[in-house]
Amino acid sequence: MARVVSGPVTFDAVPASAIGAPGQYLARPGFWHGGAGIAACWFGAAVAVAERLRAHPKLQRDAHAAMHLGAIDQQLGAARALLRELAAAIDAAPEHDHRHAVVRLRSFVERAASDVLDRVGRALGPAPLCSDREHALRCADLAVFVRQSHAEHDWAVLGQALAEQVQPWRL
């Protein structure tokens, strides 16, 4: 993220007028679909980080590293399935916001990405972060990027919505 030109801005006494009703920004068509797109970006970065471990020669002789890769596979496989499922649902009903599914997806992918960062670091140690600039930048960027998640706040929203549903996990 250090390569992204960005910075704080301050506005003093700037005339402005409302361009929509309260809540309209979040309710506009496609807003929540875009949140799924962000989760797909997190997923892609997590896959790239995981690939650093998957391609490492130590996997053939280090059960500890292989165990971490197996755990990563579970996380990324489930995240991939959720992404595909939600993409199909959005394509089938683009007029719906799919908010609950998007929040669930973002929450899961955020946890999966964080787990990938942790497990790759545990399996490979600090060497790749010190000697592989591209990997180190990708890890740093992903750690910052997933902070766009609203984490526990989103989990509470999910829980409250689930309390009102009947058999939400029925197959």
**What are the distances in angstroms from CA 1 to CA 28, 80, 145?**
28, 24, 8
- pLDDT reading at 152 higher than 90: yes
What pTM does this model have? 0.89
Confidence at residue 18, expressed as pLDDT on a 0 to 100 scale: 86
Q: What are the tens digits of pLDDT across the range 121-132?
A: 999 999 999 999
What are the b/e assignments for 41-57, b being 16+ CB within 10 Å?
A: ebbebbbebbebbeebe
Name the token pair of 89: 């649902």
pLDDT bin (cut points 50, 70, 90) of residue 151 is confident
Average pLDDT score over residue span 54-76: 97
pLDDT in tens, 71-102: 999 999 999 999 999 999 999 999 999 999 99
Per the CB < 8 A criterion, the answer to whether 124 and 54 are in contact is no
Question: Minimal CA–CA distance to 103: which of 84, 82, 128?
Answer: 82
Q: What is the pLDDT of residue 1?
A: 63
**C-alpha torsion sign, points 167, 35, 120, 140:** negative
Q: Options 1.10.220.10, 1.10.287.130, 1.20.140.10, 3.40.50.300; which CATH number does 31-159 get?
A: 1.20.140.10
57-61 long-range contacts (CB < 8 A, ≥24 apart) are 58/123, 58/124
Tell me what the pLDDT averaged over the chain comes to.
94
Distance CA 61, CA 163 (A): 47
Asked whether residue 3 carries a pLDDT value surpassing 90, the answer given is: no
When pLDDT is cut at 50, 70 and 90, the band that residue 19 belongs to is confident
Encoded amino acid at 151, one letter:
A
Which range is least confidently modeled, 24-38, 99-113, 125-139? 24-38
**CA-CA distance, 2 to 62, in Å (whole number)?**
34
Phi, psi (rounded to 5 degrees) for 153: -60, -45
Q: Cβ distance 116 to 135 under 8 Å? A: no
